Structure 1
Amino acid sequence: MRKPSLGGNPKVWSNEEVTQYDMMQSIVIPKKDEMLDIITSMIPFDENKALKVMEIGVGLGALTERIFNRFPESDFLGIDGSAQMIANAQERLKKFSGKIKILERNFNKPLWLNGVNDKFDLVCSSLTLHYLSTRRRREFFKEIFKVLKKKGTFIYSCAVKANSPSIQKIFVKIHRKYLRDQILKVMGKKFTDEDLDRVFKKRRDKMGINPATTVDHLDLLKKAGFSKVEFIWKHRHYAIFMGVK
């Protein structure tokens, strides 16, 4: 089992897990489409502007596609740690192939930005930064600040934990019921709490999910140097944050 504080290791994603990624997210993450739509709608630029965009954790390209649909003149640099995830995203995004480049990089490694010399109007991410290791968090946010242009925007969603352990227990209880209901709806299977532990806790530990609190995220943004920071949206233990340079 990987210690959560070590963060994620993209090399542990199997081809089967990548293939099942969308289906698993539809089960595990409530209001995922709403989350992606809010991120896209909060991007504070004119839709005719040719943005320079970096996305961290492209996954299968769901957020990328939304941003391109709103900002079709953009140039896009994607970052993901899984070669199989990148291959699947490139297939989904092939209609934008002349405007997008995706690099295989692990942002838990300090040299993940080697060779990236551009400055960006927008850095975005969806459901990825909870894989940051505890020791990398502060430096990572500073690195994002440095690659942004003046008045550039950083907007992202991720899993968070409650500021209070007692409230976290309530979140977990509610989410377990949600998971049981979703598994029955999507897969036609009845899961007990023991089944959830067997499937999801093992998976979470393997992936290295390491959520911080909402207070932590706002503090990280401020200490990185962002002049404006905002906590935009939250549903249970998923949240959206924004910082402007």
Structure 2
Amino acid sequence: MRKPSLGGNPKVWSNEEVTQYDMMQSIVIPKKDEMLDIITSMIPFDENKALKVMEIGVGLGALTERIFNRFPESDFLGIDGSAQMIANAQERLKKFSGKIKILERNFNKPLWLNGVNDKFDLVCSSLTLHYLSTRRRREFFKEIFKVLKKKGTFIYSCAVKANSQSIQKIFVKIHRKYLRDQILKVMGKKFTDEDLDRVFKKRRDKMGINPATTVDHLDLLKKAGFSKVEFIWKHRHYAIFMGVK
């Protein structure tokens, strides 16, 4: 078992995990489309502006595609830790190939931004920053602040944990029922709690998911230097945050 405090391990995102990515997210993540739509709608720029955008954790390009559809003149730098994920994203995003570059980088390494010299209007991320290691959190948020232009915006969604153990237990109980219902709907299989532990807990432990609280996220944004910070959406243990430089 990987210690959660170590954060994510990009090596686990190999062929099988990448192939199953969309199906697994349709099972595991409630209101994923709503989450992506809110991130996109909260971008505070004119739609004709040629934005400089950096996305952390491109995945298969779902957020990238939405942003390009709203801001077609954007110049895009994507970051992802998995070579296989990048290859699949590039296939999905090939219609934007002249406007996007994706780098294989691990943001839990201090030099992950080496060679990135641009300043960005927008840094965004969807369902990725819960893979930050505990020791990297503070420096990472400062690094994002530094790469943003003046009045640049940082918007991201991630898994969070409750501020109290008792409420966290309620979240877990509700989410386990949600998982059982979704598995039956998507896969046609009936799962018990033991099945969930066997499949999902093992998967979660392997990936190094390391959620912080909503209070922690707002504190990290403030301490990094953001002049405006906001907690703009939440559904159980998934949330969206925003900071303006």
Q: CA deviation at 1:40?
A: 0.0
Deviations 1:69-90 (A, max 9, x none): 0000000000000000000000
Deviations 1:45-65 (A, max 9, x none): 000000000000000000000
For residues 243 and 106 of structure 2, what CA distance do their matches in structure 1 show? 22
Are 2:65 and 2:93, in contact at CA under 8 Å, matched by a contact in 1?
yes
Tell me the TM-score normalized by structure 1: 1.00
Q: CA deviation at 1:91?
A: 0.2
Deviations 1:160-217 (A, max 9, x none): 0000100000000000000000000000000000000000000000000000000000
What SS does the corresponding residue of 2:86 show, helix, strand or coil?
helix
What SS does the corresponding residue of 1:107 show, helix, strand or coil?
coil
The yes-or-no answer on 1:111 pairing with 2:82 is no
What SS does the corresponding residue of 1:54 show, helix, strand or coil?
strand
For residues 140 and 8 of structure 1, what CA distance do their matches in structure 2 show? 14
Give the number of equivalent residue pairs.
Answer: 245
Question: Does 52-61 or 8-17 show the bigger shift?
Answer: 8-17
What is the match of residue 16 of structure 2? Answer: 16
What SS does the corresponding residue of 1:153 show, helix, strand or coil?
strand
For residues 40 and 12 of structure 2, what CA distance do their matches in structure 1 show? 29
For residues 177 and 14 of structure 1, what CA distance do their matches in structure 2 show? 28
For residues 73 and 124 of structure 1, what CA distance do their matches in structure 2 show? 17
Q: CA deviation at 1:11?
A: 1.0
What SS does the corresponding residue of 1:123 show, helix, strand or coil?
strand
What SS does the corresponding residue of 1:111 show, helix, strand or coil?
coil
Deviations 1:199-240 (A, max 9, x none): 000000000000000000000000000000000000000000
For residues 222 and 188 of structure 1, what CA distance do their matches in structure 2 show? 45
Are 2:14 and 2:82, in contact at CA under 8 Å, matched by a contact in 1?
no
What SS does the corresponding residue of 1:157 show, helix, strand or coil?
strand
What is the match of residue 88 of structure 1? Answer: 88
> Which ranges of structure 2 fall in alignment gaps of 5 or more residues?
none
Q: CA deviation at 1:132?
A: 0.1
Q: CA deviation at 1:12?
A: 1.7
What SS does the corresponding residue of 1:201 show, helix, strand or coil?
helix
Deviations 1:75-109 (A, max 9, x none): 00000000000000000000000000000000000
Question: Does 119-128 or 12-21 show the bigger shift?
Answer: 12-21
Tell me the TM-score normalized by structure 2: 1.00
Q: RMSD of aligned C-alpha atoms?
A: 0.3
Deviations 1:18-52 (A, max 9, x none): 01000000000000000000000000000000000
What is the match of residue 168 of structure 1? Answer: 168
For residues 167 and 116 of structure 2, what CA distance do their matches in structure 1 show? 41
Q: CA deviation at 1:14?
A: 2.2
What SS does the corresponding residue of 1:141 show, helix, strand or coil?
helix
What SS does the corresponding residue of 2:117 show, helix, strand or coil?
coil
Q: CA deviation at 1:111?
A: 0.2
For residues 111 and 11 of structure 2, what CA distance do their matches in structure 1 show? 17
For residues 156 and 231 of structure 2, what CA distance do their matches in structure 1 show? 10
For residues 153 and 76 of structure 1, what CA distance do their matches in structure 2 show? 15
Percent of pairs with identical residues: 100
Q: CA deviation at 1:9?
A: 1.0
Are 2:161 and 2:168, in contact at CA under 8 Å, matched by a contact in 1?
yes
What SS does the corresponding residue of 1:78 show, helix, strand or coil?
strand
